[in-house]
A = this chain, B = another copy of it.
Amino acid sequence: MFISIDFADDKPIYLQIHDQVIDAIASGKMFPGSVLPSSRQLAAEFGINFHTVNKAYNLLREERYIQFSRKKTAVVSEPLMNETLLQEWDNRERTLLAELVARGVSRQDIVHRVGRLLDSVRLSVENGSKGGEQK
């Protein structure tokens, strides 16, 4: 499975699941049509409550990363992007970038660092996912 939970982490469990699903989509491990494990199934796998998994799934649905088919199974959606989402992203990214600037990291170092991170995220997004179709 592409999900792991760190109970020692101060990040809430439902957010760990949420973020890792997004990471799985970004990296190409999952793509539009991919079926996610059911709430109860994933919960059982990690010994957590299925409501916690549900909270992560519902958040992902509100953000349009996934949707639920009539079969009631969670499925990865087609990518969606708009100006509102970009602006909200900018606000969070700006806060994060300000940390490095405040600590004296140069613009060049930051850009280079972001570039490396982008590559590590996108590793397989442009290649290996072709040939996987839903349904």
Q: Which residues of A pack against B, CB within 8 Å?
A: 19, 22-23, 25-27, 65, 79-81, 85-86, 89-90, 92-105, 107, 110-111, 113-115, 117-118, 120-122, 125
**Complex Cα–Cα for A19 and B94 (A):** 10
Q: Which of B90, B102, B113 touches A90 (beta carbons < 8 Å)? A: B113
Min Cβ gap A43→B in Å is 22
Residues of chain B lying within 8 A (CB to CB) of residue A89:
96, 99-100
Task: Tell me which of B79, B121, B125 contacts A94 (CB under 8 A).
Answer: B121
Copies of the polypeptide in the assembly: 2
Q: Is the CB of A22 within 8 A of B85?
A: no
B80 near A103: Cβ-Cβ < 8 Å: yes
- Between A and B, 13 residue pairs with Cβ closer than 8 Å are A19-B95, A22-B102, A23-B95, A26-B99, A79-B104, A80-B103, A93-B117, A96-B96, A101-B125, A107-B118, A111-B111, A111-B114, A111-B115
How far, in whole Å, are A96 and B120 apart by their CA atoms in the complex? 13
Q: A19-B95, A79-B102 are in contact. List 19 more A-B contacts (CB 8 A).
A: A22-B102, A23-B95, A26-B97, A26-B99, A27-B98, A27-B101, A79-B104, A80-B103, A81-B100, A85-B103, A89-B99, A90-B117, A92-B96, A94-B117, A97-B117, A97-B121, A101-B118, A101-B122, A114-B114
